[in-house]
Every structure is written in structure tokens, then in C-alpha cells.
């Protein structure tokens, strides 16, 4: 069925259980779907934009209140909505980093963190992972010491992932922030895989900036996200424009430089807002989500030759699994080659594993109900058994 012209209607969430690693936390709530229907037009949230003409001052729809609510929920001083986490990284890097400054991120940082620092001219240094694919305070301290000695000054910014996108591992953010602050290095926590799906308390972590992704973990349309900041850093990253036209003499009120004025309008912002009550509620059920994640991982581990590359038992719903010794052996002789796995899963109502992947791949069980978790776990085992693999 087409929704317009040559564009197919997207029905995957209605027809299948989707375990795609990046899509799980961004599935819209029914409330967000309804809000998007009502506010799909471009400048729809601007009907009641009054002086001082800035998005986060709009009271109808209650965008101003939403900003206050998100700041309180994250336990941070100030919040702005942004068009995706990457724009949050970019705003902070642009504010904090001068050309030639040493900066620190991690061996598990997302490419948008790298690129945002590249845009600002920062000299990149990665904190290495430990043997368990985790970023530790010990490794962070060693890197900060090394970089500070090398440059004769401390790095101007440190990025660290609360949960990384490769393994779904949880890292030592609080301890790393403590170490960084001993060097007076401000810390940005990338919460793209945590803000909106599990509890996050910015002040408890002791970080200076928190970035979240609306379309990855807050049940919101793309592109959307949040940037939160504390104290003096909030004042810096959310500074207002001082520019003046030399011919016209025009000035631009309280527009914020890094936000480029208004950030997120129409469907993305109302979708983010409409899902927020459900998002606040769902983070309280994180333990059950982790329990479900472990059920599926355990089913996979019952297939002989399968190993998990993420930390185990799982503490998150995004998991990196290694099936070189199981499904990849089947692929070697199967007429569909590596495509047999995604094909077999789809026939049984499960999608989201990259077609062709039978070696090392990722999946995410976030948001599936108990019936769907049982279905996914059973499906992996059935596909293994149907292809002659041993299941314990």
C-alpha cells in the first residue's frame, strides 16, 4: 500500500516484532502519533508564539513547561530541545572547544561526537576500553594525565557515553566525571541510549551536560533530542546573540547562538512532548526491560556456538551477539547464504536483524511486551533447531 506517490506505507511495527538495535526506544507512543496528526504542518507550534519570540517560551502548546519538566526530570538546571543528539554535541563542542584544544572522548564514542569535535578543531584523544569493553575511570584518569602532560594544559572537554551503541554496556560515568573535574575538565554525558528508557539523574552523575536522543530513546519523531546543562556551562552554551547588522542596525533579541534561534518545531517537538508522560513512567520499569533482555540473550546462548560480546548478564536491552559458531556455520552451506537468518526470522514475525548478518550483530528488545519477548526467544531457538544446530 502506498501512502503517497511511490512511497510505501511503513507497516513493519504493525506486522512484525522489530528488534532493530537503534529503533526500539524511538517507536512512538499512541499519544505521540495523535499529536503528530494534529501538528504535522511546518510551523504548527508557532500559532501562539508571542514576545520574546523563542520556542522555549511558547505556552500553547505547553513547550515552555515541557522544558522545565524535562530539566527537573533529568535533575539538570536548564534544557533545550534540539534536532537530534548530534546537535547537542555540536552546540557544546562549538561553545567549549577552540581550534587546537585537546579533547577527550572514548573508544566507544559515536561518530557524531567525533565530527562535532572535528568541526571545532579539537585534537581528539580516545579513552580505551578495558577487556570487558567498558570505559573505566582508571583508563579515563590515565588518558587525562597523558593528554595534560602532552599539551601542558588540560583538555577543554570530555565526552563519555552512559551506554554505548556498539555493546550496550553501561560505563562508569559518575567516577569518570569525578576524575575529569579534578582536572577542571567539563563532562558531557551522551545519553542517547539511556535518557528516556532508564533512570538518569544528571546531578547524581556529576556531569555538566546531558544529551538525549528523542528519536532513539524518547519515543519521538526524528530529528529530536534534548541538551541539558548545569550552572555556568548552561549560561555559556545557551548564551544569547549579541550581533548587530552594520547597515540595518538590526539585533535579534534573545535568540540563542548555538541553538540558531528556534530548534525543534512541528511534529518532532509535539511528538516528544506527547510521549513524555509515558516516557517518565516507562523508565521506572527498567528492571523488567533488563529481565526481558536477559531472557532473549539466554535463549540465544542456549544455541551451541553462540556467545555474547556485551557485558553479561545484561544490564541493558541493546546487545551485541556473536553467532560465528552457530548461525554463521549454517550460512556457509545454506542456499540463502547469510540471508537465511533474517529470512527465517521474518517468516516467524521477527525483523530488525540486518539481512545477511550471521556473524556479529546487534539487537534491542526494548519496549516489547512479555508475549513478544517469549515469541522472539522461542523464534531464535526454533530457527536454530530447524537448521540442525544443537540447543541445550
Partner 1 sequence: MSQRAVDAVFQGLYLFTDLRAILRETAPAHRLDEEQRAAVAKALEKLRKQADILEKELLP
Provide, rounded to whole angstroms, the least separation between the CB of residue 69 and partner 1.
Answer: 23
269-295 as b/e: b if 16+ CB within 10 A: bbbbbbbbeebeebbeebeebbebbbb
Question: Is 157 or 279 the residue whose CB approaches partner 1 more closely?
Answer: 279
Give residues 79-118 in contact with partner 1 (rule: CB under 8 A). Answer: none
Give residues 4-43 in contact with partner 1 (rule: CB under 8 A). Answer: 13-17, 27, 30, 33-34, 37-38
C-alpha–C-alpha distance, residues 119 and 157, integer Å: 14
* Cell numbers placing 78: 536548564
Taking the CA atoms of 311, 316, 318 and 323 in sequence, report the sign of the dihedral they define: positive
Angle at 160 between CA 359 and CA 205, to 5 degrees: 125
Q: Edge to edge, what strands does the sheet with 360-364 contain?
A: 307-308, 318-322, 360-364
Question: Is 9 or 248 the residue whose CB approaches partner 1 more closely?
Answer: 9
Task: Give me the 304-343 binding string for partner 1, x by CB under 8 A, dash otherwise.
Answer: ----------------------------------------
Provide, rounded to whole angstroms, the least separation between the CB of residue 263 and partner 1.
Answer: 26
Question: Is 58 or 376 the residue whose CB approaches partner 1 more closely?
Answer: 376
The number of C-alpha atoms within 13 Å of 319 and in the hemisphere containing its C-beta is 30
- The C-alpha R_g of the chain, in whole angstroms, comes to 23
277 touching partner 1, by CB under 8 A: no
Provide, rounded to whole angstroms, the least separation between the CB of residue 14 and partner 1.
Answer: 4
Query: Are 62 and 56 spatial neighbours (Cβ–Cβ below 8 Å)?
Result: no
Query: Are 360 and 320 spatial neighbours (Cβ–Cβ below 8 Å)?
Result: yes
User: Which one of 65, 251, 369, 390 is in contact with partner 1 (CB under 8 A)?
Assistant: 369
Question: Is 25 or 212 the residue whose CB approaches partner 1 more closely?
Answer: 25
197 touching partner 1, by CB under 8 A: no
* Residue 18: strand pairing partners: 351
Q: Which residues have a Cβ under 8 Å from the Cβ of 89 and sit 6 or more positions away? A: 112, 113, 116, 117, 159, 188, 190, 211
**How much of the chain is in helix, strand and coil states, percent to nearest 5?**
40, 15, 40
Provide, rounded to whole angstroms, the least separation between the CB of residue 213 and partner 1.
Answer: 21
Question: Which part of the chain contacts partner 1 (CB under 8 A), choosing from 43-51, 60-68, 185-193, 369-377?
Answer: 369-377
User: Which one of 74, 350, 353, 389 is in contact with partner 1 (CB under 8 A)?
Assistant: 350
C-alpha–C-alpha distance, residues 97 and 230, integer Å: 17
Provide, rounded to whole angstroms, the least separation between the CB of residue 9 and partner 1.
Answer: 11
349 touching partner 1, by CB under 8 A: yes
User: Which one of 156, 365, 372, 387 is in contact with partner 1 (CB under 8 A)?
Assistant: 372
Question: Which part of the chain contacts partner 1 (CB under 8 A), choosing from 175-183, 187-195, 310-318, 344-352?
Answer: 344-352
Provide, rounded to whole angstroms, the least separation between the CB of residue 66 and partner 1.
Answer: 21
| Sites of contact with partner 1 (CB under 8 A) | 13-17, 27, 30, 33-34, 37-38, 348-350, 369, 371-372, 375
Amino acid at each position: 500500500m502506498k501512502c503517497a506517490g511511490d512511497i510505501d506505507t511503513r507497516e513493519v511495527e504493525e506486522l512484525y516484532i522489530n528488534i532493530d538495535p537503534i529503533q526500539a526506544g524511538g517507536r512512538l507512543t499512541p499519544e505521540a502519533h495523535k499529536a503528530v496528526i494534529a501538528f504535522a504542518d511546518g510551523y504548527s507550534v508557532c500559532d501562539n508564539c508571542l514576545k520574546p519570540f523563542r520556542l522555549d517560551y511558547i505556552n500553547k502548546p505547553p513547550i515552555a513547561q515541557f522544558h522545565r519538566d524535562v530539566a527537573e526530570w533529568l535533575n539538570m538546571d536548564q534544557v533545550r530541545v534540539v534536532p537530534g543528539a548530534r546537535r547537542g554535541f555540536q552546540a557544546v563542542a562549538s561553545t567549549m572547544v577552540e581550534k587546537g584544544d585537546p579533547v577527550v572522548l572514548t573508544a566507544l564514542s559515536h561518530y557524531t561526537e567525533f565530527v562535532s569535535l572535528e568541526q571545532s578543531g579539537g585534537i581528539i584523544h580516545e579513552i580505551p576500553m578495558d577487556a570487558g569493553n567498558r570505559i573505566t575511570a582508571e583508563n579515563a584518569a590515565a588518558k587525562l594525565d597523558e593528554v595534560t602532560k602532552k599539551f601542558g594544559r588540560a583538555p577543554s572537554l570530555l565526552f563519555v557515553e552512559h551506554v554505548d551503541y556498539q555493546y550496550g554496556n553501561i560505563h562508569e560515568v559518575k567516577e569518570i566525571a569525578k576524575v575529569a573535574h579534578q582536572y577542571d575538565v567539563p563532562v558531557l554525558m551522551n545519553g542517547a541510549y539511556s535518557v528516556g528508557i532508564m533512570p538518569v539523574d544528571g546531578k547524581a552523575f556529576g556531569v555538566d551536560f546531558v544529551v538525549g536522543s528523542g528519536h532513539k530513546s524518547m519515543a519521538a519523531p526524528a530529528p529530536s533530542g534534548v541538551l541539558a546543562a548545569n550552572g555556568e556551562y548552561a549560561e555559556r552554551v545557551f548564551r544569547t546573540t549579541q550581533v548587530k547588522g552594520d547597515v540595518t542596525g538590526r539585533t535579534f533579541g534573545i535568540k540563542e547562538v548555538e541553538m540558531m534561534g528556534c530548534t525543534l518545531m512541528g511534529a518532532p517537538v509535539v511528538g516528544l512532548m506527547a510521549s513524555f508522560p509515558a516516557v517518565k513512567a516507562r523508565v521506572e520499569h527498567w528492571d523488567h526491560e533488563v529481565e526481558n533482555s536477559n531472557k532473549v540473550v539466554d535463549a540465544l546462548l542456549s544455541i551451541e556456538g553462540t556467545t555474547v560480546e556485551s557485558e553479561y548478564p545484561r544490564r541493558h536491552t541493546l546487545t551485541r551477539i556473536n553467532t560465528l559458531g552457530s548461525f554463521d556455520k549454517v550460512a556457509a552451506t545454506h542456499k540463502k547464504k547469510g540471508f537465511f537468518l533474517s529470512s527465517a526470522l521474518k517468516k516467524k514475525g521477527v525483523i530488525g536483524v540486518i539481512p545477511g548478518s550471521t556473524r556479529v550483530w546487534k539487537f534491542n528488545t526494548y519496549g516489547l511486551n512479555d508475549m513478544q519477548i517469549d515469541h522472539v526467544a522461542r523464534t531464535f531457538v526454533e530457527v536454530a533447531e530447524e537448521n540442525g544446530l544443537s540447543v541445550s
